[in-house]
Amino acid sequence: MMLSRVAERIYWAARYLERVENTARLVSVYDNLLFDLPRSVNIGWFNLVIINSGTELFFERYKVQDERNVVKFTLADDTNPSSMLSSLTMLRENIRTARDVLPAEAWELVNELLLFARNDIQQGINRNGRHAFLNGIIEGCQGINGLLLGTMSRDAAWHFMRLGCNLERADMTTRLLDAGAAVLQLSEDNDTTNLSQIVWGNVLRSGSAYMAYRRTMRTAVNGSDVARFLLSDEHFPRSVGFCLDQISSATARLPTAGKRYASIKPQLPKHDIRDGFCLSPDFRDYLNDQQLVLAEAHNHIASNWFAHD
């Protein structure tokens, strides 16, 4: 038995939890990426804002697209609803209003994490403390996920958590791939092999996928294989295909009697990922189609279980 309103809040709590971790990862990988890129490659921190669809809002707040402003905007800005701190605050609000169905320790861990983030946010903005700060955030999120994994009954609350977490994860993985493709498209450098290695390597790292990729694909890092792996690997928990399977299996365990959508099974859009495909504009269109699949899955979930009337 679960209230529709509570189901919705749990779903969003899971999305925000995932978003906090992903945002921290993204900044952390960018930190590394920009050290490795040849000076001639002219892509900057601003790409972070583009990935998170924040361009317009950014220019309302800042003029200069430098590292400090971008990092501030991405991590700390209250007026940016997708900033890490905003997501963390929303995570807390959603857990606060769904506390009665979550383990009590989850509430305490979220409070600790928010306190840590607020107190130490300056460390994340300054370059020298950034690594430790972001690690602290990522570890905090993993701690909460671990607690939930180890203590939650596998009832409806759990399945709504899975739905939120996997939708958000799939969304972020498509954004990461898009970011990689964008960097390579924008660069005017001719030495694309070396650059491509650096970029795709970092795309993998930002999804904690580097090791898994090496072991599974047993090949050098190249765009098409990275795309194949991050889109459709059956075993890696952050691949889009894996997340979509999780969504199908979670929705199958929720009550569907009398619901509008008897089954919700989002699929990867069909496309043959040929070598070199990742450099073409078609690839980014493909990723856009992928985003539409996710948006539709969200709408179906909301209509089935969150509708208030």
Residues of this chain that interact with another protein (CB under 8 A) are 1-7, 93, 96-97, 99-100, 104, 107-108, 111-112, 115, 156, 254-255, 257-258, 305, 308
Q: In whole angstroms, give the CA distance from residue 224 to residue 227.
A: 5
Residue 81, Cβ neighbours under 10 Å: how many? 12
Instruction: Give the amino acid at 150.
Output: G
Say how far apart CA 9 and CA 52 lie, in whole Å.
22
Q: How far is the CB of 121 from another protein (least distance, A)?
A: 17
Nearer to another protein, 277 or 306 (CB): 306
Whichever of 4 and 248 has its CB closer to another protein, that residue is 4
**Would you say 97 or 208 has its CB closer to another protein?**
97
Shortest Å distance, C-beta 85 to another protein: 16
Q: How far is the CB of 118 from another protein (least distance, A)?
A: 11
Question: Cα–Cα distance between 115 and 164 in angstroms, integer?
Answer: 24
CA distance 259 to 254: 11
C-beta atoms surrounding 27 within 10 Å: 22
Question: What secondary structure does DSSP assign to 127-140, as a single string?
Answer: HHHHHHHHHHHHHH
Distance of alpha carbon 160 from alpha carbon 250, whole angstroms? 7
Amino acid type, 200: W
Task: Give 64 or 257: the residue with its C-beta nearer to another protein.
Answer: 257
Compute the least distance from the CB of residue 93 to another protein, in Å. 8
Burial tier of 98 (Cβ tally within 10 Å: 0-12, 13-18, 19+): buried
Length of the chain: 309
Minimum distance, C-beta of residue 291 to another protein, in the bound complex (Å): 26
Would you give the distance in Å from CA 151 to the centre of its chain? 24
The CB-of-153 to another protein minimum distance in angstroms stands at 12
CB of 17 to another protein, least distance (A): 16
User: Judged by CB, which is closer to another protein: 8, or 233?
Assistant: 8
Nearer to another protein, 96 or 131 (CB): 96
Q: Which is nearer to another protein, 90 or 179 (CB)?
A: 90
